[in-house]
Amino acid sequence: MEVGAPDYLAGERQTAEFDVESMKVTWAGSRHALEVSDRMARLVASDPVFRKDNRVMLSRKELFKNTLRKAAHAWKRIVELRLTEEEASRVRFFVDEPAFTDLHWGMFVPAIKGQGTEEQQQKWLPLAYKMQIIGCYAQTELGHGSNVQGLETTATFDPKTDEFIIHSPTLTSSKWWPGGLGKVSTHAVAYARLIVDGQEHGVHGFIVQLRSLDDHMPLPGITVGDIGMKFGSGAYNSMDNGVLRFDNVRIPRDQMLMRVLQVTREGKVIQSDVPRQLIYGTMVFVRQTIVADASCALSRAVCIATRYSAVRRQFGSQNGGPETQVIDYKTQQSRLFPLLASAYAFRFVSEWLKSLYTDVTEKLQRGEFSTLPEAHACTAGLKSITTSATADAIEECRKLCGGHGYLANSGLPELFAVYVPACTYEGDNTVLLLQVARFLVKTVSQLGSGKVPVGTTAYMGRARHLIQCKSNVQSAEDWLNPQVVVEAFEARSLRMSVACAENLAKFPNPEEGFAQLAADLVEAAAAHCQLIVVTKFFEKLQQDIPGKGVKKQLQILSSVYALYILHKHLGDFLSTGSITPKQGALANDQLRSLYSKIRPNAVALVDAFNYTDHYLSSVLGRYDGNVYPTLYEEAWKDPLNDSVVPDGYQEYIRPLLKQQIRNARL
């Protein structure tokens, strides 16, 4: 905000009952994280190269070129200012535009780190770190996505030349979707079926050079291009998701990533002693980032909708006074505040996932693999439910802004368009929940055999209790007790999983049963994952959280999140008998009074995200609430307003108006 400019939301900020600066620290994770984030946000916001208000007006080509410009400039600043990796990643975050660098740093480098041998890492990583090569992650094909084992691209070992021949045998085997592939990447980690001596050895990664480092032309045998426009106007269209065909492209043998499986000079295929489970580590890492991103996208949408709901007034004017702020309507609150609570919930669960990753990494180093399937199922499930909820929530926030939410400059349409693929990439959300369900059913089936469930499934060890316990909620107050809430969620989740297991047992063929009951299984998996989010939120509150009133607010938000989920999935809770209808009604009463408690803190709770106006890029979500004059000014910038009489008037409007119609039947 400019110094001295009026703050139309000052009144809202005064009613806050907690210390916003302390909440910022809690949201950011640490004072250090807040400081870095704040500094990088300002760095980006103050640099004219990074302006983004013109995004939706650019043509595809201009948009893309502008992204190249930003990426180059960001890199320049990162190098000049000698930024740390943490700082650099915040810069990319605040530049806030999908770009080839996301895949280079986020997938290409990690793939080499995770799947390359020491030698390979030493050769390729320095080049990648200095961006002397630019890489992408080329797995998906036109005809094959979720089922990686179904990929058609082949990598055939040629013992004569000590090379692999990478080939696209069919149209459907064309690589399709990899970000950064279409126009920028010089290299790819491409996935292909390994064929040695006529034998197939599954799908593996290969480093393939795509373009000349001299003139950027595709190398012989490589056909590469962009796959075209995607959802939205700006959004993901700044990314060159690409198509790629290999016509018998030869690469040296040592460009197969060989950490797990090796092909020797002689054409022997050798399993290395590195455990395959290692890949779980990378997956936990990547999905943790996605959950963190969910909390960012969601909090951003909620920030916009909350501020605008405090600015927007509609109905209820008394004696010619101002109308009611729409944030005061209970319907608005019951749609908006659960999303605010979800943003905090996802934030803390992503924080916990970070620690899970550290834990998993340590265990891997110690050669302990037993808890990995649980960690893997848990991250898969959390990725699924947080991204689905966030996608829906962004659109709900847009609707909460009424007509003006439909304007591109509300920031919400493009946020939605750029966010939704998170439900699909890194595992389709339904496919992921099916994986979780498989794990849960297995866990349940092993309960009898004395196998103790670990981590987030530990509660299943108390199956005997949970299957028959009754909630002793007697008043709306009782629902503020985390233990009571958690037990209801545990009972619901356990009973759904057990019911699935029982129904599965009725099928002679378990796979057939799994296929038939898939929809129920997905619901059971979601219930389990919601329990995790609720639990981790409550666990966070066990910690020391400094700052006046901060913990109190988080307690309210944690209850809102839990009771909102309970209300939304009331059918589950009632049909499993985990709570009674009366208790459900009490939860709803409690929820209503919690909304009233949030109300005076709402704007401060979104201020705590510490987003700059640049990052928000929303006229409706402006920090100062000065919405209407800005909307009005912005309108005139549309190219359509270049002239008062539109281009096309002479050809298409005037003739219409001047036409003499004689014989129409209208």
Interacting residue ranges for Ca ion, rule: CB under 5 A: 233
Rounded CA-CA distance 563/340 in Å is: 13
| Out of 84, 146, 199, 596, the residue judged to bind ligand FAD by CB under 6 A | 146
Span of 324-332, 384-392, 553-561, 658-666 interacting with ligand FAD by CB under 6 A: 324-332
523-562 residues in contact with ligand FAD (CB under 6 A) are none
Question: Collapsing DSSP states into helix, strand and coil, what is residue 140?
Answer: coil
H or E segment and range at residue 175 = strand 175-176
Spatial CB neighbours of 37, under 8 Å, sequence gap ≥ 6: 28, 90, 610
Rounded CA-CA distance 146/643 in Å is: 49
Q: Does position 139 bind ligand FAD by CB under 6 A? A: yes
Rounded CA-CA distance 64/239 in Å is: 7
Q: Is the CB of residue 134 less than 8 Å from the CB of residue 127?
A: no
**Buried-state track 186-199, b at ≥16 Cβ within 10 A, e below 16:** bbbbbbbbbbbeee
Rounded to 10 deg, the angle between the 518-540 and 330-365 helix axes is 90
Question: Collapsing DSSP states into helix, strand and coil, what is residue 214?
Answer: coil
C-alpha of 473 from chain center: 35
Question: Collapsing DSSP states into helix, strand and coil, what is residue 557?
Answer: helix
Q: Does position 323 bind its own copies by CB under 8 A? A: yes
| Out of 59, 149, 318, 331, the residue judged to bind ligand FAD by CB under 6 A | 331
Region of 219 please: left (phi>0), alpha (psi -120 to 50) or beta.
beta
Q: How many CB atoms lie within 10 A of CB 148?
A: 13
Q: Is the CB of residue 253 less than 8 Å from the CB of residue 157?
A: yes
Rounded CA-CA distance 444/503 in Å is: 13
Closer residue to Ca ion (CB): 233 or 612: 233
**Could you tell me how many residues of this chain bind ligand FAD (CB under 6 A)?**
31
Rounded CA-CA distance 584/205 in Å is: 51
18-77 residues in contact with its own copies (CB under 8 A) are 56-57, 59-61, 64-65, 68-69, 71-72, 75
Rounded CA-CA distance 562/489 in Å is: 9
Q: Least CB distance from residue 216 to its own copies, whole Å? A: 5
Span of 23-31, 158-166, 205-213, 420-428 interacting with ligand FAD by CB under 6 A: 420-428
Which phi and psi angles does 246 have, rounded to 5°?
Answer: -105, 125
Q: Does position 15 bind ligand FAD by CB under 6 A? A: no
Q: Does position 632 bind its own copies by CB under 8 A? A: yes
Q: Does position 281 bind ligand FAD by CB under 6 A? A: no
Binding letters toward its own copies, positions 484-523, x by CB under 8 A: -------------------------------xxxxxx-x-
Q: Residue 420: which of its own copies, Ca ion, ligand FAD, none does it interact with, CB under 5 to 8 A by kind?
A: its own copies
Query: Where does 316-329 have alpha helices with state H?
Result: none
| Out of 179, 205, 234, 281, the residue judged to bind ligand FAD by CB under 6 A | 179
Q: Residue 635: which of its own copies, ligand FAD, Ca ion, none does it interact with, CB under 5 to 8 A by kind?
A: its own copies
Q: Least CB distance from residue 355 to its own copies, whole Å? A: 25
| Out of 161, 314, 481, 596, the residue judged to bind ligand FAD by CB under 6 A | 314
| Out of 28, 103, 134, 616, the residue judged to bind its own copies by CB under 8 A | 134
Rounded CA-CA distance 123/129 in Å is: 11
Closer residue to its own copies (CB): 156 or 516: 516
- Residue at shortest CB range from Ca ion: 233
Q: Does position 652 bind its own copies by CB under 8 A? A: yes
212-241 residues in contact with ligand FAD (CB under 6 A) are 236, 241
H or E segment and range at residue 249 = strand 249-252
Closer residue to ligand FAD (CB): 267 or 402: 402
Rounded to 10 deg, the angle between the 412-419 and 372-400 helix axes is 150
Q: Least CB distance from residue 69 to Ca ion, whole Å? A: 18
Write out the two tokens for 488: 């209801």
CA quadruple 629, 632, 635, 641: dihedral, nearest 10: -130
Task: Give the Å distances, CA to CA, from 5 to 8, 9, 140, 410, 625.
Answer: 9, 12, 50, 21, 11
Selection from 108, 293, 281, 275 nearest residue 190 by Cα? 108
Rounded CA-CA distance 176/182 in Å is: 9
Question: Collapsing DSSP states into helix, strand and coil, what is residue 188?
Answer: strand
Closer residue to its own copies (CB): 17 or 328: 328
Span of 290-298, 363-371, 426-434, 448-456 interacting with its own copies by CB under 8 A: 426-434
Q: Residue 644: which of ligand FAD, Ca ion, its own copies, none does it interact with, CB under 5 to 8 A by kind?
A: its own copies
Q: Least CB distance from residue 576 to ligand FAD, whole Å? A: 24
Q: Residue 138: which of its own copies, ligand FAD, Ca ion, none does it interact with, CB under 5 to 8 A by kind?
A: ligand FAD
Is-catalytic flag, 266?
no
In angstroms, the first-to-last Cα distance of the chain is 57
| Out of 51, 123, 592, 597, the residue judged to bind its own copies by CB under 8 A | 592
Rounded CA-CA distance 243/181 in Å is: 7
Rounded CA-CA distance 107/135 in Å is: 8
Q: Residue 318: which of Ca ion, its own copies, ligand FAD, none does it interact with, CB under 5 to 8 A by kind?
A: none
Q: Least CB distance from residue 283 to ligand FAD, whole Å? A: 13
Query: Where does 143-226 have alpha helices with state H?
Result: none
Closer residue to ligand FAD (CB): 79 or 229: 229
| Out of 19, 21, 359, 428, the residue judged to bind its own copies by CB under 8 A | 428
78-117 residues in contact with ligand FAD (CB under 6 A) are 103
Q: Residue 608: which of ligand FAD, its own copies, Ca ion, none does it interact with, CB under 5 to 8 A by kind?
A: none
Q: Residue 179: which of Ca ion, ligand FAD, its own copies, none does it interact with, CB under 5 to 8 A by kind?
A: ligand FAD
Closer residue to ligand FAD (CB): 60 or 470: 60
* DSSP-assigned letter for residue 547: S
**Could you tell me how many residues of this chain bind its own copies (CB under 8 A)?**
150
Span of 81-89, 312-320, 589-597, 634-642 interacting with ligand FAD by CB under 6 A: 312-320
| Out of 72, 317, 425, 571, the residue judged to bind ligand FAD by CB under 6 A | 425
Closer residue to its own copies (CB): 125 or 484: 125
* DSSP-assigned letter for residue 105: I
Of the residues 97, 426, 487, 490, only one is catalytic, namely: 426
Alpha-carbon dihedral sign for residues 250, 255, 256, 261: positive
Rounded CA-CA distance 443/462 in Å is: 12
85-114 residues in contact with its own copies (CB under 8 A) are 85, 88
212-271 residues in contact with its own copies (CB under 8 A) are 213, 215-218, 224-233, 236-237, 240, 243
Q: Quickly tell me which residue has 């609150």 as its tokens.
A: 333
Catalytic residues: 426
Binding site for ligand FAD (CB under 6 A): 103, 137-140, 145-146, 177-179, 236, 241, 312, 314-315, 326, 329, 331-332, 400, 402-404, 406, 421, 424-425, 428, 430-431, 434
